[in-house]
Structure 1
């Protein structure tokens, strides 16, 4: 389903029935239709199932362990869950027609668009949060270090996502096409709005989040890596690289479709290639509902440790804890022994005055 044309879930009417001409003949797109009928329902169903499993696993970890409870990661997961649930409706639609009614057409489109925008913006917000938390930023950025910072970021993300989605929903309605009910845009000859929605998706869905990720990654490299925080650097790099790989191809194709709407391209073969490209790149981009939680679980050291322990047997867990405790006590004994030796080397009365301080001079 083209994110900017909900009707394209099953029919891609905007493309199949365009007036693109090649040698003054009708541009037929039978192969594109057949491909979408077979591919899209299966892809949406599989992605929906895997996305629900991955995101619910992360939700359980975030809710169960207090040390993992953070506002922005939880908001990202909520966005991905909402987007994943919307795919179940598009999967049914892709195989037949819209059977959920007029109000559901607008409601599902609204949830779908809000969750898509907010998910990408929350990924960027997480990057910004990590940078502000770990880097010693200058005084001009200290305002963001307040306790209300994450709440403000969440409010901004949801507000921009809702406003952006409202533009799409205002043009969505049910229509009858070739004896089938479709949930589609109706721009009322407002050609400018159609182009605007495409550029809005490219800008707010990819360009702005990616620029934030790149900026934080560059600053993170120069400020944090020198402090031996490799785990955080790996997490930052992983999200930046994967975001680019998932969303850049799709954003390029959307941009090319906008140029096509502006009549930069006329050839039928080019039009058909764009239609295949939008389906393939869209599918890659939509796997973010699975990739986001997996990256966060596997690249975040604290989350990965909790997840790994959840799949261990009680015996394995006790053995590891016992081993960890033994190593810790051994290190403690060494430190205490060194402390006593250093006390003996100095004034005995000084050590006697501070009986509870085992490390009077240890730094």
Structure 2
């Protein structure tokens, strides 16, 4: 028999407290196994996300036109994923021991995670609306400049809203001694959690509606290229739903539900860890999903085979030779014009 024990889990902008009477070692063993799984998952996701997203950004800057609307959304989504990724080492160490990084690091980690989390939701919604306009409403006259302006304003709004949310949370972040452990906590009230959850549900409803209409339109079309493009974006949205929806549903349910016994507490701990790992795994999903696109695969192959460098050199040589030929041709033309005529 184990003595009475309080298990406290602090993550992001909330704290989960479980107090129960352990009747066997099975509960503790399961919790330890899940915490170990979470630590190794954080390390793996961190490595994959850093490599994948930096590679994605490098390919974007090297090969793509950043004024393109889709590329602009991809760029901002990669930045959102990286913001969440940089917090992973802190949480991995935190699972092994107390919070040892101090007050400033506690605030920085929680704020960075929240900015990355909510900016990605808003950006993905805007990206879906843009796809809806171009695919479903393709008969409408769409101004390219207006579309670019919409994308830029959407990206700006995503960062402003997510930063505003993080500032509200940052004022409630503290490092406390809780049950003999130093904990990084953020005491956010119920109303705030409910408002953020409702915002997520609203944005998710927009995404589902838009892609239902997009799928219906694409399945009726015969343009294979358009189908491939939409499939890639659809996979990105599906990955988002699979990874992020369980995490937000968990916090919505937990706002109204409190475990009453040991078995319920055990299930809540396991559900929390699974949802947490799923939410973080989304950080490395987008670079993998972009490889479904033939264009992105070609860019990646060109990058590793240094074809871009060769292309640039060839372009310079071609440009240089063209300039020389034009100069020579103009010189010859001038000579002909200036040559005196015989009477």
2:66 touches 2:72 (CA, 8 Å); kept in 1?
no
Counterpart-to-counterpart distance in 1, 2:115 and 2:15? 24
Counterpart-to-counterpart distance in 2, 1:36 and 1:253? 17
- Deviations 1:65-93, CA, capped at 9 Å, x for gaps: 13366321111100101110111111111
Correspondence for 2:202 among 195, 202, 208 = 208
TM-score normalized by structure 2? 0.74
1:123 touches 1:209 (CA, 8 Å); kept in 2?
no
1:76 touches 1:119 (CA, 8 Å); kept in 2?
yes
Query: Residues 313-324 of structure 1: matches in 2 within 5 Å?
Result: none
Counterpart-to-counterpart distance in 2, 1:7 and 1:99? 16
Correspondence for 1:242 among 239, 242, 252 = 239
Correspondence for 1:303 among 283, 293, 296 = 296
The secondary structure found in structure 1 opposite 2:176 is strand
Partner of 1:162: 163
Correspondence for 2:268 among 269, 274, 281 = 274
Partner of 1:285: 279
**Given the alignment of the two structures, is residue 121 of structure 1 paired with residue 116 of structure 2, yes or no?**
no
The secondary structure found in structure 2 opposite 1:38 is helix
- Cα offset for 1:283? 0.8
Partner of 1:42: 40
- Cα offset for 1:237? 2.5
- Cα offset for 1:222? 3.8
Partner of 1:260: 257
TM-score normalized by structure 1? 0.70
2:31 touches 2:269 (CA, 8 Å); kept in 1?
no
- Cα offset for 1:238? 1.3
**How has the CA–CA distance of structure 1 residues 44 and 32 changed in structure 2, closer, same or farther, with 3 Å as cutoff?**
same
- Deviations 1:316-353, CA, capped at 9 Å, x for gaps: x99xxxxxxxxxxxxxxxxxxxxxxxxxxxxxxxxxxx
1:68 touches 1:302 (CA, 8 Å); kept in 2?
no
2:11 touches 2:185 (CA, 8 Å); kept in 1?
no
- Cα offset for 1:298? 1.8
1:172 touches 1:183 (CA, 8 Å); kept in 2?
yes
Structure 2, unaligned stretches of length 5 or more? 1-7, 312-343
Correspondence for 1:58 among 56, 60, 63 = 56
- Cα offset for 1:224? 4.5
Q: Which moved more, 1:76-85 or 1:98-107?
A: 98-107
**How has the CA–CA distance of structure 1 residues 301 and 135 changed in structure 2, closer, same or farther, with 3 Å as cutoff?**
farther
Counterpart-to-counterpart distance in 1, 2:92 and 2:81? 17
**How has the CA–CA distance of structure 1 residues 162 and 32 changed in structure 2, closer, same or farther, with 3 Å as cutoff?**
farther
- Deviations 1:269-292, CA, capped at 9 Å, x for gaps: 212211111111221221000112
Structure 1, unaligned stretches of length 5 or more? 1-5, 188-192, 319-363
Calculate the aligned-residue CA RMSD, in Å: 3.3
Q: Which moved more, 1:97-106 or 1:220-229?
A: 220-229
Partner of 1:78: 79
1:260 touches 1:266 (CA, 8 Å); kept in 2?
no
Counterpart-to-counterpart distance in 1, 2:287 and 2:121? 13
1:168 touches 1:197 (CA, 8 Å); kept in 2?
no
- Deviations 1:88-110, CA, capped at 9 Å, x for gaps: 11111111111111111111110
Counterpart-to-counterpart distance in 2, 1:308 and 1:96? 43
The secondary structure found in structure 1 opposite 2:10 is helix
Counterpart-to-counterpart distance in 2, 1:13 and 1:208? 25
The secondary structure found in structure 1 opposite 2:239 is helix
- Cα offset for 1:149? 1.2
- Cα offset for 1:200? 4.2
Counterpart-to-counterpart distance in 2, 1:212 and 1:299? 25
Partner of 2:212: 218
**How has the CA–CA distance of structure 1 residues 186 and 213 changed in structure 2, closer, same or farther, with 3 Å as cutoff?**
closer
The secondary structure found in structure 1 opposite 2:101 is coil
Counterpart-to-counterpart distance in 2, 1:51 and 1:302? 21
